[in-house]
Copies of this chain bind each other. A is one copy, B any other.
Amino acid sequence: MHRTKVKVVEEALDANNTIATANRADFDRDGVRVVNFMSAPGAGKTSLLERVLGDLRGIRPGVLEGDVQGSMDADRLAHLHVPVTQLNTDSGFGGECHLDANMVRSALPALPLADIDLLVIENVGNLVCPAEFRVGEDARVMVCSVTEGEDKPLKYPLMFRTCELVLVNKIDLLPHLDFDLDKLLYNLDAVHPNVERMLVSARTGEGIDAWRDWLAGVAAPHEVHA
């Protein structure tokens, strides 16, 4: 019975990858680079976007906001005057806890791809399923808040393992927590050795310039990372 279940899961992931490849082709056609941006609920994804999208070194960003319900994060980004499209997973998708390639595909007609260099897809807040579904992205970034404890890489290894960058956020709170940063980084290296990581605070701005440069570099690797 378990074997059948695993087979069904594999077929679903194969179907997802086929659609992700189609998304990728559409992005390439318009020269759009794509970041899949993931974290647990409340780790600070939207705040970290608010900090950098307004001045991305000449790169023109766009955002696809994935939420179960509502458009609160999209509303928060409105003042930045960048194109933001809302994708709700409870409308027609049954309250999904993640974005998959087909959901992203359904949103493509609403995205002004010709006017975007870099599309950030803010996934549903969840450390499990978003990691299982490619959506056609160039890079995956996850946010891990120091308030969540040092054990998260070991408990949600796939998420930490499939990312190109881990943002360790809310470091302004370190003096007020019983939290061992070295232990978190040790656990991170245990599941994804030497993955690029940045210590940041969306609140104080610490580390934000490096995050801005990294994000801009996805869309213009030669200009920014030269």
Interface of A toward B, CB cutoff 8 Å: 2, 5-6, 9, 40-42, 67-70, 72, 92-97, 124-129, 132, 145, 147-149, 151-152, 154-158, 170, 172-173, 176-178, 203
In angstroms, Cα B177 to Cα A128, docked, is 27
Q: Which residues of B contact A132 (CB under 8 A)?
A: 95
Q: Min CB distance, A79 to chain B, in Å?
A: 16
A89 (CB) vs chain B CBs: closest residue = B128
Q: In terms of DSSP, what is the predominant structure of the interface of chain A?
A: loop
Cα distance, A157 to B68, chains bound together (Å): 9
Say whether B155 contacts A69, CB under 8 Å.
yes
Of B70, B154, B155, B158, the contact of A154 (CB 8 Å cutoff): B70
Q: Taking the full assembly, how many copies of this chain does it contain?
A: 2
B72 adjacent to A154 (CB under 8 Å): yes
Bound-complex Cα distance A93 to B8 (A): 11
A5 contacts B40, C-beta separation under 8 Å: no
Identify the 3 closest CB pairs spanning chains A and B, nearest first: A42-B148, A97-B128, A147-B147
Chain B residues contacting A129 (CB-CB under 8 Å) are 97
Extra contacts, 16 of them, besides A41-B156, A72-B151 (Cβ < 8 A), are A2-B92, A5-B94, A9-B94, A40-B41, A40-B42, A41-B127, A41-B148, A42-B147, A42-B149, A67-B155, A70-B154, A95-B128, A97-B97, A97-B126, A173-B176, A178-B203
User: Is there contact, CB below 8 Å, between A69 and B157?
Assistant: yes
A155 to B41, CA, bound (A): 9
A5 to B69, CA, bound (A): 18
Contact B155 A173 (CB under 8 A): no
